[in-house]
Structure 1
Amino acid sequence: MATSREHTLTGTHGTLVAREWPHQSPRYLAILVHGYGEHIGRYTWVAGTLTGDGAAVYGVDQLGHGRSEGDRVLVADFEDVVTNVHALREHAVREHPGVPVVVIGHSMGGMIAARYAQRHGEGLTALVLSGPVLGEWGPIAELLAYEEPPDVPIDPSTLSRDPAVGAAYAADPLVWHGPFRRPTLEAFAATLATITKAGSLGALPTLWIHGEDDRLVPLTGTRIGIEAIRGADFTERIYPGARHEVFNETNREEVLADVTTFVDRVLPG
């Protein structure tokens, strides 16, 4: 298991708990952006693979998530979360000036990462989007039809074909197991519209990975958003039979190998 260390960041609305998986002489810096309701501690396996590929890896429990401050899963404006990700990147670059930076986001984190690249893409080496919430996402309209969104628990079996993944998720006390907050759903809708309007990522090398059997963030809705932002250097990998958390799927080694192969291709030199 990869060794990590923790520190805190001053976020837009309180203190954030960040984690670093260090590398003495990194070839690149990997900024991980986690999904809705979870926390960066669920990415130890991903970080270990990336440090093995020569990366120093950084992540943060987002506002209202994990052990960071804020009302649980309450995000009034995802632009604030993008700003917090940039603070983490600046911290990483201060520790390793001149080292290429790759941003990797999953699900909600994929949405945040895409918006991050639109706002702060200058100087980024690559972007990886895993099962990103982009384009059209059904739960937004469905849940906003209620004044108070109902509690519709995530079925852990939709995360991965590996039952141990769902069991660990269900038992994790740092994972949010309650209902969506209405302001968060409204912020999702606003951010998806903003991303689509902002358009192409230009020349930024981008890898999109997605499970073919993703029932939480279906492929068809995401593809609409991908078509709006894809740039000149775009790679797509769709994994047959895979569910939402492709980094935790039964073919996780294949998925991470695709990520590291992509990153190795686009690294300078």
Structure 2
Amino acid sequence: MQTSTASITGRHGNTIVYDVHRPDIEPVGVVVVAHGLGEHAGRYHHVARAITDRGYTAVIPDHAGHGRSTGKRLGVTDFGDFVADLHSVIGVAASECRPRFLIGHSMGGAIALSYALDHPDMLDGLILSGPAIVPGADLPAPLVKIAPILGKLVPWLPSAALSASAVSRDPDVVAAYESDPLVWHGKIPAGLGGALIGAMATFPGRLPTLTMPALVLHGGADVLANPEGSRIVERHAGSSDLTVTILPGLYHEIFNEPERDEVISTVTDWIVAHS
């Protein structure tokens, strides 16, 4: 695997940094990965390795306000900004390579789903990992209800923080997450929380237009992104080639659970089968 780093200018002038992982052979396609809230592309190097081992190029950006990209930390208040920046990265780094697949984890799953609905012609398949389509069980219902309002009135008001212990059952993963300086360890600003919850509310009505092949995997013990969100995709998506699997007992980051090798193989096998 050969790795390089590049950047593009995002929707509001932010520098969006992304990694490109290339296989040691002529690539047979490209897979773009959208990471979750508060994290960064560097946490997906093992996923990139599995992708390149199958002959695909992996492109993984840091969202605005995340990781190495610029912008106020978790400062996005318009969910469309993430989608627009992802479109710019794909336009530069992956526009000429097909087939093209998009993987989205957690909030990145919501970004990826939004992107697939907005730009279906740009993708040949969509993979969602623990997508944030329904608020997690860790968020109080009153907070969820008023989040979009708070996000508009007081976007920098701290709301809730993600629980590191809910990320994975692997204590080494949790320890690495807690010590990672590029991971956001504070509370989520109301502006971003409200924007995400607002995007979630649009999905049931939009999902019937999702007709591309899709694979959805979700940890059954995920408290950060409710597995019911993946069941909503199963009930409402218009795709005739849709696989939704709830993985019993797995926590939020299914790519970082003890069963990670099996989970990642399921994803790469699906990509190869749909190429």
TM-score normalised over the length of structure 1: 0.91
Distance 2:165 2:183 in 1: 15
Residue type of the alignment partner of 2:132: V
- What is the SS of the residue equivalent to 1:199? helix
Equivalent pairs counted in the alignment come to 264
- State the Cα distance separating 1:206 from its structure 2 match: 0.2
- The 2-side partners of 1:98 and 1:68 are apart by 24
Is contact 2:220–2:250 with CA below 8 Å preserved after alignment? yes
Query: SS state of the match for residue 102, structure 1?
Result: strand
Identity %: 37
Equivalent position amino acid for 1:235 in 2: T
Pick closer, same or farther for the CA change 1:234–1:185 going to 2, 3 Å.
same
Q: Give the aligned residue type for 1:219.
A: P
Unaligned regions of 5+ residues in structure 2, if any? none
In structure 1, what is the equivalent of residue 128 of structure 2?
129
**Residue in 2 that maps onto 1:88:** 89
Give yes or no for the alignment of 1:154 onto 2:162: yes
**1:8 aligns to what?**
7
Q: 1-side partners of 2:209 and 2:49: how far apart?
A: 28
In the superposition, the TM-score normalised over structure 2's length comes to 0.89
Please report the RMSD computed on the Cα atoms of aligned residues, expressed in angstroms: 2.0
Correspondent of 1:182 among 183, 190, 197: 190
Corresponding letter in the other structure for 2:228: T
* d(CA) in 1 for partners of 2:135, 2:75: 21
Counting only pairs closer than 5 Å after superposition, residues 158-237 of structure 1 correspond to structure 2 as 158-237=166-245
Structure 1 position 180, deviation (Å): 1.1
User: Could you give the per-residue CA deviations for residues 62-85 of structure 1, whole angstroms, max 9, x where no partner exists?
Assistant: 011111111111111111111111
Deviations 1:9-51 (A, max 9, x none): 1101211111110134111100000000000110000000000
Deviation per residue, 1:72-117 (Å, 9 max, x gap): 11111111111111111111235xx242100000000000000000
Map 1:36-51 to 2 at 5 A.
36-51=37-52
Contact map agreement 1:134 1:226 (CA 8 A) in 2: no
Q: Letter of the aligned partner of 1:79 in structure 2?
A: G
The 3 A distance-change label for structure 1 pair 218 and 35 is same
Residues 1:234 and 1:214: Cα distance change in structure 2 (over 3 Å): same
Aligned to 2:119: 120
Q: Distance in 1 between matches of 2:164 and 2:104?
A: 20
User: CA contact under 8 A between 2:234 and 2:244: conserved in structure 1?
Assistant: no
Which residue in the other structure is 2:108 paired with?
A: 109
Distance 1:37 1:26, change over 3 A: same
SS of residue matched to 1:5:
strand
